Amino acid sequence: MSERQADAPSVRSDDAGDTPPDHGLRAEVAMSPLPLYSQIKDVLRERILDGTYPAHSKLPSESALMATFEVSRITVRQALRDLQKEGLTFSIQGKGTFVTKPKAVQELTRLQGFGEAMARKGYETYSKLTGAREVGADRDVARALGLSRGEAVVEIERVRHLNRSPVSLDVSYFPADVGRRLLQEDLAARDIFDILENDYAFRLQAADLTIDATVADRRLAGHLGVAEGSPILRIERLTYVDGSRPLDFEYLYYTGDAYQYRLRVERN
């Protein structure tokens, strides 16, 4: 019976080995502000990413995890459910929980800004501010932000660079109150999402994306350093705070050859 259960005890072997289970993860819990299930999730994720649990392998069963981490089943299940939502694992009733292939794709279904996403991958980015002014909302902007046509909005236009080459033109529209504050920030250096969340304390919730293809006109071609008629991936992104208030409507024009948008979708 040389089977996988045997490695369950080794799960918690990261400690020096002299500590009994009750001083394992549990000891630092009192110190940590993070929920238990979140800490367990982090531990499991790290072990998946570093190869302790290779692709296709079976994770320890829920009861094994309960014993290992000394928590109840509901806590283990919440950790596993979150991992599954991240696309790292999947479960089959009666068999177990398994590791999916640890590719690069995951976590791109998350709402994150350009700089945020690229920095995490070790790319060098910066933005050049090519326009920032107050304008009247056109039809699309007004509808997206829930305003009337002609109402004041702030338009911020930036060219995003990746490794010194331009990859996208971002045109963002904000309601006047937020937009005017943004006009005074250092938009070239800081991620707008960072400002919104940390300085303004907005609770970014989700965003609706619409993706289609177009070709570069003269102006786009100039900004992005491509020929007129080159393929352009256009994304409309409407970001919501507190669930339903639209805060940020953007057009993102990516050069077709320099960028690919990746995501994972689930069945059911």
Binding interface with a second copy (CB under 8 A) = 55-56, 74, 85, 87, 89-90, 92, 98-101, 103, 105, 109-112, 203-215, 229-234, 240, 242-244, 254, 256-257, 259-268
Q: Which does 148 bind (CB under 5 to 8 A by kind): a second copy, DNA, none?
A: none
Q: Which two tokens stand for residue 245?
A: 């208030």
Q: How far apart are CA 199 and CA 185, in angstroms?
A: 10
- Told to check if 15 binds DNA by CB under 7 A, we report yes
Q: Which is nearer to DNA, 70 or 107 (CB)?
A: 70
Q: Which two tokens stand for residue 19?
A: 């500590």
Q: How far apart are CA 20 and CA 70, in angstroms?
A: 12
- Told to check if 53 binds DNA by CB under 7 A, we report no
- Told to check if 48 binds DNA by CB under 7 A, we report no
- Told to check if 96 binds DNA by CB under 7 A, we report yes
- Told to check if 205 binds DNA by CB under 7 A, we report no
Q: Which does 37 bind (CB under 5 to 8 A by kind): DNA, a second copy, none?
A: DNA
- Residue 246 beta carbon to a second copy: minimum distance, rounded to whole angstroms: 9
44, 59, 224, 252: which one binds DNA (CB under 7 A): 59
Q: How far apart are CA 190 and CA 35, in angstroms?
A: 30
Long-range contacts at 67-74 (CB < 8 A, ≥ 24 apart) = 67/21, 68/8, 68/9, 68/11, 68/12, 68/21, 68/24, 69/12, 69/24, 69/25, 69/26, 69/36, 69/40, 69/43, 70/21, 70/22, 70/24, 70/25, 70/26, 71/36, 71/37, 71/40
Residues that bind DNA (CB under 7 A): 5, 15, 35-38, 59, 61-64, 70-75, 77-78, 80, 91-97
